Amino acid sequence: MTARVCGLLVLALLAGCARGVSSTPGDAPNLEKWVEDVRARPAPPLEPLPVMQQFETFEYSAQGMRDPFTDAWTNPQGGSGLRPDPNRRKEPLEAFPLDALDMVGSLGTGGGLVALVMAPDKVTYRVRPGVYLGQSDGRVTGVFEDRIELIELVPDGAGGWLERPASLALEDQ
């Protein structure tokens, strides 16, 4: 029974749609008249364009002054001449900061004195004058029974380098 009701409802809807659409030749002149009326109406007025602000032009006239986009601290003469050698082969103890290294002893006497330095990786290295320690290009200048003296190269903040003395003392056990 519900199928019959649904079927009748569908037929009624289709019949209503067919009545709303007419394809008689008499409707065409009405459509053409309506189109002509719409085209004959005046167009709605357009909103005026916004007024553009005039900006003042500025001419940069400081050609003789220092360029503000370059580093003001660079030294054109190249600094004092001190600088780390970028082509020098790094030594194993340069991988660690100086405060992470421990002097644990020394071997020999006089000019043949060798210091023993333990790195954080628990490996003990022999250190003589001329060897490099730490991450600041520290070159050993003297080995003594109770300390190692070295000179580090540190940046001076103005594009150059300064020598800074440092030392590594024997650890008391």
Express each pLDDT in 100-126 by its tens digit.
999 999 998 877 899 999 999 999 999
Task: List all residues 6 or more positions away from 168 whose beta carbon is below 8 Å from its beta carbon.
Answer: 98, 101, 102, 103, 115, 117, 133, 147, 148, 150
* Mean predicted confidence (pLDDT) in 72-86: 64
pLDDT at 80 over 80: no
pLDDT score of 125 = 93
The pair phi, psi for residue 55, each rounded to 5°, is -100, 145
Q: For residue 159, what are the CA distances in angstroms to 25, 72, 75, 78, 91?
A: 94, 10, 6, 8, 25
Query: Residue 19 pLDDT more than 60?
Result: no
pLDDT attached to residue 111: 75
